[in-house]
Amino acid sequence: MARGGRAAMSTPAPASVYRSGEGLGLWEHRGKVAAVGIGHSPTARRWDGKPANSVGGISLAALRGAIEDSGVDPADVDGLVMDPTTTTGAFWPQGKPLPWDAINAYERTDDPLDGITRLSAEWMLKNMPELTGVQFTRYGMGCMSSAICVAAQAVGDGRTHTCLVLKSWHNLEGRYYQGGANAGNAIPGSSAIRSLWGTPACFGTAVQFAEYCRKYGKSHDMMAPFIENSRNNGLKFPEGYWAQHRPEEITPEDYKAARWIAKPANLFDNDMPIMVSAAYLFTTAERARQLKQKPVYILNHASSRTRPRSLTPTLDEVEEDTARTARKIYEGAGITAADLSFENMYDGFALFHQFHIEGLGYRGIKFGEALDFYQTDISIGGPNPVSPSGGNIGCGRSRFWMHTDCIQQIQRRASSRQVTGVKPEVAVSGGPMPLGGNFTVWSSTPG
């Protein structure tokens, strides 16, 4: 197919791709799809205007990194699954001149901001002439967690045998979500029903956490060991923002002294928007065994599509759904909670990580017990690692550190972050929110 015309009509994956129902049994492709390559771009707090550091530029770096890491010939790549949205909350300001130097540094599509504040499969393929064999492209919307589900299913279904999976984020100048409609004097009626009260993004999680603390007799201070552990792990993640730019710990004292954003969510319960891109290379189990990296097999992917009854999920809704998600995860993978070597569920916001792991029943913990669990040894050196990636709290906002970490841990190439208190054999990662996430089970063996 001609260069540049290969993916002009790429579309979001249909809902049927995602395994969101209960009772689906073992995933039909359990152990037949594997991750064999990882590529990460450098991180930055914001775009500096240089073409190579644009969201398109860093995506090229990540994709080429994943190809090189896997040892695959670029011409053998026949699939690309990605998320076309790249915003961390920043949009190109209306009326601001377009960055033509950066735009014209690459092959363009019809949209000049493609590669700057959004990213199409068409743009990627126009700018990667070495990918001569791509015949399958699809969008997994929202974050890497959904793109992984789409890619794993596509490889399992035989729609692509060597598939790149990409997620990228851009961040521009200015404060998070402070412009646009939020700076105006009036807003449309439909959005006013939610946003008129000025609640920041973490508000829903904050009030769920408040309810959690009231119900189970816990306190915000009990989150301090989780935050400290996450940042410590993140500082051991060389691909992460904090490790690269500001190697700062967050001590329990730092955490407790931080200002509130929406009490009981404070500054360090929130992640920091950054520019970053990551790519993985997925292939069939058979092909994976011929490649240079140890294959990490996918045992299952599962999704939550539950909607809250009203404005924000109640604690009951959260707990029902995280338990339901866990049943789906375990059923499709043919495992139980006891099989998990470690967990890497999402953490951006930190105050919902406990919902994820209580739903999983990680190390046997039940609802209301995670904050007590955080007071025990949850480090990478102990028997019960929590968020060994460090997640968004430890590495900056990407929603993909946990996936990279699962692959690297199982391949035993997580460097100083490598878990040592457990054998890294089976792990789960995913998110973002407790209601409405996508999850993957990774394994050192096909099952």
Partner 1 sequence: MKQGVDPDDLTRPFWEAANEGRLVIQYCADCDRLQHPPGRTCHACGSGDTLQWRQVSGRGRIYNYGVVHDCPIRLLQEDQPFNAAVVTLEEDPGIQMYSHLPGTPVDEVPVGEAVEVVFEATANGQKVPEWRVAGAQR
Partner 2 sequence: MILVSFDIDGTLEEGDPPGILTMDFVRQVKGEGLLVGSCSDRPISAQRALWARHGIDVDFAVSKHMLGEVKASFDAEVYYHIGDREDLDKRPAEQAGFRFLWPHEAVAMPWTKTGSVRP
Chain positions contacting partner 2, by CB under 8 A: 45-46, 175, 178, 245-246, 248-251, 253-254, 257-260, 267-268
Using the contact rule CB under 8 A, the part of the chain among 40-48, 208-216, 370-378, 429-437 near partner 1 is 208-216
- Which residues within the stretch 286-345 sit at the binding site for partner 1 (CB under 8 A)? 307, 309-312, 314
Q: Which residues share a beta bridge with 431?
A: 438
Provide, rounded to whole angstroms, the least separation between the CB of residue 349 and partner 1.
Answer: 12
Q: Among residues 200, 247, 381, 383, which is the contact residue for partner 1, using CB under 8 A? A: 200
Closer residue to partner 2, CB minimum distance, 263 or 327: 263
Peptide bond into 383 cis (omega under 30): no
Interface with partner 1, residue 215, by CB under 8 A: no
Peptide bond into 432 cis (omega under 30): yes
For CA atoms 109, 10, 278, 292, the dihedral sign is negative
Backbone angles phi, psi at 439, to 5 degrees: -135, 150
Q: Which residues share a beta bridge with 439?
A: 302, 430
Antiparallel, parallel or unpaired: β 342-345 and 33-40: unpaired
Interface with partner 1, residue 187, by CB under 8 A: yes
Interface with partner 1, residue 257, by CB under 8 A: no
Q: What's the rounded Cα separation, in Å, for the pair 385 and 155? A: 30
Instruction: Determine the angle formed by the axes of helices 144-156 and 401-410, rounding to 10 degrees.
Output: 50
Structure tokens at 49: 């205007």
Nearest of 46, 143, 45 to residue 440 by alpha carbon? 143
185 binds, among partner 1, partner 2, none (CB under 5 to 8 A by kind): partner 1
Provide, rounded to whole angstroms, the least separation between the CB of residue 21 and partner 1.
Answer: 17
Provide, rounded to whole angstroms, the least separation between the CB of residue 187 and partner 1.
Answer: 5
In total, the chain counts a number of residues equal to 447
Closer residue to partner 2, CB minimum distance, 185 or 190: 185
Using the contact rule CB under 8 A, the part of the chain among 22-30, 190-198, 220-228, 395-403 near partner 1 is 190-198
Closer residue to partner 2, CB minimum distance, 3 or 260: 260
157 binds, among partner 1, partner 2, none (CB under 5 to 8 A by kind): none
265 binds, among partner 2, partner 1, none (CB under 5 to 8 A by kind): partner 1
91 binds, among partner 2, partner 1, none (CB under 5 to 8 A by kind): none
Provide, rounded to whole angstroms, the least separation between the CB of residue 270 and partner 2.
Answer: 11
* Burial status of residue 129 (CB atoms within 10 A of its CB: 0-12, 13-18, 19 or more): exposed
Q: What's the rounded Cα separation, in Å, for the pair 62 and 274? A: 15
Count residues binding partner 1 (CB under 8 A).
41
Provide, rounded to whole angstroms, the least separation between the CB of residue 303 and partner 1.
Answer: 19
Nearest of 11, 10, 15 to residue 438 by alpha carbon? 15
